[in-house]
Amino acid sequence: MSTTTTTSGHRGLQIEQALIFELDTPGSTAVDLPAAPKVRTRLGSLRSDKSIGLPGLSEPEVVRHYTRLSQKNYSIDTGFYPLGSCTMKHNPRLNEKMARLPGFADIHPFQPVSTAQGAFELIDTLAHWLKTLTGMPAVAMSPAAGAHGELCGLMCIRAAHEANGQGARKIVLVPESAHGTNPATAALCGYQVESIPASALGHVDLSVLKARLGADIAAVMITNPNTCGLFETECIEIAEAVHVAGAYFYMDGANFNALVGRVRIADLGVDAMHINLHKTFSTPHGGGGPGAGPTVLSAALAAFAPVPFVVKAGENYAVAEHAGHGAAQKAFGRMKGFQGQFGVFVRALSYILAMGVDGLKQASGDAVINANYLRAKLAAELTPAFEGRSMHEVVFDDRFLKNTGVSTLDIAKALIDEGFHPMTMYFPLVVHGALLMEPTETESKATLDQFIASVLALARRAKQGDQAEWFRAAPRLAPRRRLDETKAARKPVLRWRKADTTAEVAKQAAE
Amino acid sequence: MRYLPLSDENRRDMLAAIGVGSVDELFADIPAAAKAKANFSLPNTQSEIEVERILSAMAAKNLNAASAPSFLGAGNYRHHTPASLDYIIQRGEFLTAYTPYQPEIAQGTLQAIYEFQTQVALITGMEVANASMYDGATACAEAAAMACRVTKRAKVLISGGVHPHYRDVTATAMRFLDMQAECLAPDPMAVEDLIGRIGPDLACVIVQTPGFFGHLQDFSALAAACHTAGALLVVCVTEPVSLGLLKSPGDMGADIVVGEGQSIATPTSFGGPGVGLFATREKFIRQMPGRLAGETTDEDGRRGWVLTLSTREQHIRREKATSNICTNSGLIALAFSVHMTLLGEAGFRRLAELNHVHAVLLADRLEQVKGVKILPAAFFNEFAVQLPIPAAGVVEALAKRGILGGVPASRFYPTYPELANTLLLAATEMNSAADIDALGAALQEVLS
C-alpha cells in the first residue's frame, strides 16, 4: 500500500507534475521573438485566427516541468538496464558534442553538394567502417531504424528476384524465436511469412529448414546470435542451403554487439544485414529513437540499394538521389527523406573512432563475459533455458518459479523496487516465461554483483512459497505502482481535453 | 579504453567464475571459418582530443548556415532553438532511456508523449495523433497504407504539389505492398485537377499544405469529393510552423494528417533525424501505425500513462501488424513538444507571423530583381521563383559568394527541363533584413 499522506501529493523527491495543459496561463509564452515589421501579407484566404488550444507557460515553468518529468524515468545514465535484445550501453557525451558542431548541425540536405563535402565524407567514412567490419561490399545508409533496415534488405531481395525472373518466390521463412519486426517487415514487402520451429537446443533446425526450402522461398531471415543469446552454429550450412535453393539469406543484426571485431559477417554467407547504430554503436535510445539501421549488402544485392547513396568521384563526393538514373540505375526506390539519419551517423562515427577496432573487439568480448558471468552466478537459483554458453545475452525460463505463485512479471516488478530496470520479459516466445538479460560491456563487475544479489534474493524469496501476494504488490517504491493496461486499452484516452468539452467530443466521435 | 569498466583482473575473475580459461572459449560456438579473416585494417582507439580533431576537420569542410545566410527549405527548415530546449533533451533521463515498456519507471517519457500527441492533434486540427514516425516521408507512406486498410482499396493518388521525397517513399512502399500509387507531374502553378481524377477504386488522395512550390490552397472541396467517393484525404505538412497562421488540415476535412516536425524540433542536421507526425480521426485509431500513449490509473488510483493499443503492433501481431515500426523518433518528438510548450499559443502564432513577414520581405526584394518572377500568389514562408537562367548554376554562383540561396527544382526533377529555371526559396525568423538584401544584391549580380 502507498504511504502517501502529504497535502501536495509529492513524496520527498518524487514530485507529482500536472500536464502542461493544466498549467496554462493564457497568453503566456517562454519565447520572446522580435517584433514583426508591418507588411502586406500574402496568405490569400487561408489565414486562420481560430484558437488552437495550446497552453501558455513561462520559461521557468517549462524547465521545471520537463526536469520533473525526467526524474520519473529510469535511464542508462542513472542505472543498470539489462534489457535483452536492446543493447542498452553507455552513450558517450562526446557523440552529442560532435553532432552539435555547426558544420554538422547547421547544414542542409539540399545545399549544393560542393558545399557539403565534409558531410558526405562523414557518411562515406562510417560506411567504410561498417563494410570493413562486416566484410560486405556495400551498405545502404538511409534506413532509419532496425525494422526499416530489415525492410531495406527485403526490398533489395525482392528487387533482385524480380530482376532475375524469380518474382514468383513469395514466401519468407522466419524462426519462431524472431523479433516481431521480422514477420511484420516481410508482410510490408509483399511476402507471406512461414514460421520455422526451433530445435530443443534453441537453434534453427537445419533439417526442418532444408525440407521447406524450394522454388517458392524468397528469403530466410535469421537473427544471429539469436534471441536466445546463442550463436547459430550451423549458420554457414544454412546460408549454403538457402543459396542452393535460389533464395537469399537475411541476417538480423540486432545482436551484432556480440560479434564486432571477431567475425566477418560476409564469411557467414549473409546477403543482407541491418546494423542498429543505436544499439551496437552507442547512439542514445532517446526514450524510443531516433535510431539508424544501415544495411550491409552482398554483391548480389548491392546494385538494388535505395537512394540516396554517396558516390566518390576522384577526390570529390557526389550523391545519387534518383532511382533509375546514373549510378542508381537499378536502385529499388527511396525509403527515407533527405540524406538519412545524419545526426545519428555523426554520433556513431564519433564512438567508432574513439573505440577503434581494438576497442570494439574488446567491447564484444566484455559484453560476452558479462552475460556469461550473469549466467554462471544466477544459475544458482534461476533456470537457464538452454545448455552451454551464451553470447552477449542470456535467457532463463520460469521453471524456478514453478508452484510459487510468482510470475516472471512479478520478478521484473520487484526488481524495480531494487533500483534496477527489469530484463526483457516473455521474449523470446519459444521460452516459457522468459527472462532475457543483456548486460552489455559498459557495466562494471560491481554493478553486476549488486544486480545478481538482488535477483538471487528475489528468487529465494519466491521459492519460500507464500510470497505471491508480496510480489503482486511490487513495485512499491517507484513513481507509480502497477498501471491498469486493460483500462487504457478498453477506453483509450490518447490526448488531453478540456474537462467541460469531453462529453461533447465523445459524442462527436461516436457520430 | 575509457568506455569499458572491466579491468584485466575483473576479466580473469569473471572468466574463472564462468569456468573458462580465456574469452576466446566463449566464442567457441562460432565456426572457425567465420573467425579466420577477422583481421581488420582499421585504426585503433583514439583519445577524445584526436576524435574531436578528425570530426571537426570534416565539419569545417561544410558551408554552414551559422556562418552563411541560408534560404534553404524544401521540407527542412532552420529555426531558432531556445537554449532551454537543448538543455532539456540532453538530460540523461530522457536521452538515455529506452522505449517506455516499464511504465512505473517511465512516466516522464510517457507523459511527454501524451502531451506531444495532444499538441500534434491540436495544431493539425485532428482528434488523435501517435507517438511519432521516423520522418514526414515515411509517415506519408504509412498514411497511404492505412488508407488502403481502411477503405479496402489498393490505389492512391499523389498530387504534384507533394514533396518529391514523400512521393518517392510512398510510391516505393506501395509498390512492394502490391498496391498502386499514381503520381502526378510536378505542379509549380498549382493548376492540376485532382477532383476529376477521383474514382471508385481510390483509397486516398495525398496533397500538401503549403504545397511544395509554396502555394496555399484550401482542400475543403477536395475532401468533400473524396468522402463522396468513399476515399480518404491525406494532407502532408512539411513546415508545421505554418499551422500557427493557416487553416488547419483538420478544418479542411482531412482524414489523416502527416508531417515533418524537424522545423520545430531540431537543427537542419543535413536532413535527419527528424520526426514524423501522424494524426487522424478517433474512429480510425485501431488502423493507426506506431506507438500510442494512453491515460490510465495505477493500483493506488493515481493518474498515469502507458503504451496502449499495442495489439496493432509488430511485437504482438507480427505479420498482421499495422506497421513494422518499432524504434520511432522519441527524442525528436520530445524536442518538438518542448519547443511547442515553450512557444505556447501566443509564441507559436508570433513565430508563424514572423516567418511569413520575412518571406514577404524576401519576395518584395526579389521582385525588384529583373527577370525574377514569384510563382505562388499566396505563400507562407517559402515560394518558387522563375529565373531567366538555370537555377542550379545560380545556386552554385551564390554559394561562391557565401550565400545558400535556395534549392533548385532540378535537384528533384532532373527529367523536367521546364523546371530547370525554377528555384525554391524559404525565409524564416533567422533571416535578417541584411541577409535578404545580400541575397537580392547577389542574385542581381549573378543574373546580369
Residue of A121, A181, A282 lying closest to B61 (CB–CB): A121
Outline where A100-145 has alpha helix (H). 102-105, 117-134
Q: Is the whole model's pTM more than 0.80, yes or no? A: yes
Phi and psi at residue A336, to the nearest 5°: -155, 145
Test B59 with A19 for CB contact under 8 angstroms: no
pLDDT in tens, A266-309: 999 999 999 999 999 999 999 999 999 999 999 999 999 999 99
Residue A110 has pLDDT above 60, yes or no: yes
Q: Report how far Cα A433 is from the mean position of its chain's Cα atoms.
A: 22
Mean pLDDT of the B212-228 span: 98
Give residue A510's pLDDT band: very low, low, confident or very high (50, 70, 90): low
Residue of A121, A276, A325 lying closest to B58 (CB–CB): A121
Mean pLDDT of the B2-9 span: 98
Test B319 with A193 for CB contact under 8 angstroms: yes
Q: What's the pLDDT score for residue A503?
A: 53
pLDDT in tens, B53-91: 999 999 999 999 999 999 999 999 999 999 999 999 999
Q: Count the alpha carbons within 13 Å of B25 in the hemisphere toward its beta carbon.
A: 10
Residues paired with A193 in a beta bridge:
A172
Residue of chain B with shortest Cα separation from A237: B31
Quote the CA–CA distance of B442 and B369 in Å, as a whole number: 10
Phi and psi at residue B23, to the nearest 5°: -65, -30
Test A493 with B295 for CB contact under 8 angstroms: yes
Quote the CA–CA distance of A446 and B192 in Å, as a whole number: 67
Cell numbers for A452, please give them.
Answer: 545478481
Q: What's the pLDDT score for residue A506?
A: 54
Q: Which of A160, A201, A235 shows the shortest CA–CA distance to A390?
A: A201
Quote the CA–CA distance of A464 and A481 in Å, as a whole number: 24
Mean pLDDT of the B411-430 span: 98
Residue A450 has pLDDT above 70, yes or no: yes
Query: What is the DSSP secondary-structure string of B18-36?
Result: HT-SSHHHHTTTS-HHHHT
Residue of chain B with shortest Cα separation from A422: B102
Q: Which of B244, B216, B209 shows the shortest CA–CA distance to A46?
A: B216
Residue of chain A with shortest Cα separation from B131: A288
Percent over 70 (pLDDT), chain B: 100
Q: Which of B218, B183, B283, B245 shows the shortest CA–CA distance to B235?
A: B218
Buried-state track B128-165, b at ≥16 Cβ within 10 A, e below 16:
bbbbbbbbbbbbbbbbbbbbbebbebebbbbbbbbbbb
Quote the CA–CA distance of A418 and B116 in Å, as a whole number: 31
Percent over 70 (pLDDT), chain A: 97
Q: What's the pLDDT score for residue A483?
A: 98
Alpha-carbon gap: B221 to the closest alpha carbon of chain A (Å): 14
pLDDT in tens, B301-344: 999 999 999 988 888 888 888 899 999 999 999 999 999 999 99
Residue of chain B with shortest Cα separation from A84: B98
Degrees to nearest 5, angle at CA B44 with B1 and A294: 95
Cβ neighbours, 10 Å, residue A34:
9
Buried-state track A144-178, b at ≥16 Cβ within 10 A, e below 16:
bbbbbbbbbbbbbbbbbbeeeebeebebbbbbebb
Residue B115 has pLDDT above 90, yes or no: yes
Quote the CA–CA distance of B187 and A164 in Å, as a whole number: 36
Residue of A286, A337, A359 lying closest to B271 (CB–CB): A337
Cβ neighbours, 10 Å, residue B123:
29
Cβ-Cβ contacts under 8 Å between A and B: the total is: 718
Test A46 with B378 for CB contact under 8 angstroms: yes
Q: What's the pLDDT score for residue B319?
A: 87
Residues paired with A105 in a beta bridge:
none
Residue A509 has pLDDT above 80, yes or no: no
Choose, out of B133, B341, B356, B381, the residue to mutate when testing the contact with A (most A CBs < 10 Å). B341
pLDDT in tens, B41-53: 999 999 999 999 9
Q: Which of A328, A326, A291, A346 shows the shortest CA–CA distance to A138?
A: A328
Q: Quick check: ipTM above 0.85?
A: yes
Q: What's the pLDDT score for residue B84?
A: 98
Alpha-carbon gap: B426 to the closest alpha carbon of chain A (Å): 12
Find the distance separating the first CA and the last CA of chain B, reported in whole Å: 59
CA distances from A354 to A92, A257, A294, A350 (A): 10, 16, 20, 6
Give residue A176's pLDDT band: very low, low, confident or very high (50, 70, 90): confident
Residue A2 has pLDDT above 80, yes or no: no
Quote the CA–CA distance of B294 and B314 in Å, as a whole number: 18
Residues paired with A204 in a beta bridge:
A198
Residue A500 has pLDDT above 90, yes or no: no
Is residue B411 within 8 Å of residue A321, measured between CB atoms? yes
CA distances from A211 to A59, A205, A268, A391 (A): 65, 10, 21, 28
Residue A504 has pLDDT above 60, yes or no: no
Q: What's the pLDDT score for residue A507?
A: 54
Residue of chain A with shortest Cα separation from B168: A334
Choose, out of B54, B104, B175, the residue to mutate when testing the contact with A (most A CBs < 10 Å). B104
Choose, out of A31, A161, A277, the residue to mutate when testing the contact with B (most B CBs < 10 Å). A31
Test A69 with B112 for CB contact under 8 angstroms: yes
Give residue B399's pLDDT band: very low, low, confident or very high (50, 70, 90): very high
A contacts of B2 (beta carbons < 8 Å): 354
pLDDT in tens, B157-192: 999 999 999 999 999 999 999 999 999 999 999 999
Alpha-carbon gap: A482 to the closest alpha carbon of chain B (Å): 5
Q: Which of B79, B335, B182, B239 shows the shortest CA–CA distance to A289?
A: B335
B contacts of A369 (beta carbons < 8 Å): 6, 11, 14-15, 18, 23, 26
Residue of chain B with shortest Cα separation from A234: B31
Give residue B122's pLDDT band: very low, low, confident or very high (50, 70, 90): very high
List, in order, residues 6 or more apart from A358 with CB less than 8 Å away: A261, B1, B44, B45
